[in-house]
Amino acid sequence: MNNHWIFRSIWHKLAAGFVFWSLVGLFFSTYAYFYFSYHQPGYTFVDALKGTLPQWYVWGGLAPLIVRLDKIAAGGKDRIFRRALMHIPFSIMLAALYVFIESVSDKFVYGEMPVLTLGHFAGEIQWNLPNYWVIFASYVIYEYYNKYRDKELAAIRLEAELAKAHLQSLKAQLHPHFLFNALNTISATMEKNPRSARRMTAQLADILRFLLEMSDRQEITLAEEISFLKNYLEIQQARFEERLQTHIDVPMDLGKAMVPVLIIQPLVENAIKHGISPQTEGGKVIVRAFCQDEQLQIRVCDNGVGLPKNWRLSRNKGIGLANTLSRLQQLYSGQYNFSIEENTEKGGGTIVRITLPLRGI
């Protein structure tokens, strides 16, 4: 960003502010003209402008200070009642500052500076307090509007990312090698166990149906996610046979908890592909979910080969993990935790930890 652009931006803001406060002053000048010209013959529109415009230019100059004081009052937290309480002393101080500036400006406009008694000074402060609160309220409304607009834009981006995520999921979970392996497993099982082959065919159809039906949803219940995962795992277990063991530990009372679509299955697939598959003797994948400190905790553990040496999520994540992190950030805006570490429990391997806000229960 060059300095020319910065200065041009500043001048644009100053010009816009000048025009805005001029229009406000013009509005009240018109009101003052019609009111005072009726009671004071000879009162002109120029007199109304001289008496009104400087007042609003002063408030226009104080407005950025009010915004700055609001940021101090907010302290980084969106607590409107706390902010309003802290603005009470601020409003009195700035109203007093305005009265002082107005008195000084009268010296230049009318050629003399009014004498302010204590009572008159207090009355002027009280009279001008509403101006401070109108500016504060306008800024709060503007701030909330921006946050609402940002959320809408984030939702639009999230929908686009979700569509992309589903496309990537279809490519990953239904990649030709997965379909080939699944169909090959079904074919091999057909003669020796027709019932099992029919069940796997139905499960594969359920997987396809699930991915198509979930294409327009951002979140689903944990029960729906686990149901999809079970279909996927049964096909994988039929393929790996005794080399793959699985265990799912999800309490029924957490079934209604909301989670991102396809948040667990890709992690389980990674565990099988990178952790269990390279081992001759195979291994075990465990999926757990529990509630802790009013947050949903999800764990995906395996006792496979573990992470490569010097592996770090920040620099070694692939497209799948990067997409998962992006979706979590857009859905929960920092109110989540995601980590992949070596499993220090007996057997080694890898453990994925996900912490999400507990929703839907």
Domain limits, the chain: 3-152, 174-239+248-357
- Per-residue pLDDT tens for 195-215? 888 888 888 888 778 777 776
Q: How confident is the model at residue 351 (pLDDT cuts 50, 70, 90)?
A: very high
pLDDT of res. 74: 72
Report the C-alpha gap between 235 and 240 in whole angstroms: 9
Task: Tell me the residue type at 154.
Answer: A
pLDDT (average), residues 10-15: 75
Question: Which residue, 216, 278, 209, 212, is CA-closest to 243?
Answer: 278
pLDDT of res. 3: 53
Per-range mean pLDDT, top range of 105-114, 142-151, 254-263: 254-263
Burial (CB count within 10 angstroms: exposed 0-12, middle 13-18, buried 19+), residue 310 = exposed
Q: How confident is the model at residue 188 (pLDDT cuts 50, 70, 90)?
A: confident
Q: 48 forms bridges with which residues in the sheet? A: none
Q: How confident is the model at residue 168 (pLDDT cuts 50, 70, 90)?
A: low
Report the C-alpha gap between 52 and 105 in whole angstroms: 12
pLDDT (average), residues 188-193: 77
Report the C-alpha gap between 358 and 314 in whole angstroms: 26
Neighbours of 259 (CB within 10 A): 24
pLDDT of res. 78: 61
Query: Could you give phi then psi for residue 185, rounded to 5 degrees?
Result: -65, -40
Burial (CB count within 10 angstroms: exposed 0-12, middle 13-18, buried 19+), residue 37 = middle
In percent, the amount of the chain with pLDDT more than 90 equals 14
Does domain 174-239+248-357 correspond to CATH entry 3.40.640.10? no
pLDDT of res. 323: 77
How does strand 219-221 pair with strand 283-292?
A: unpaired
pLDDT of res. 133: 87
pLDDT (average), residues 160-184: 61
- Per-residue pLDDT tens for 47-92? 888 778 888 888 888 888 888 888 777 766 667 777 788 888 888 8
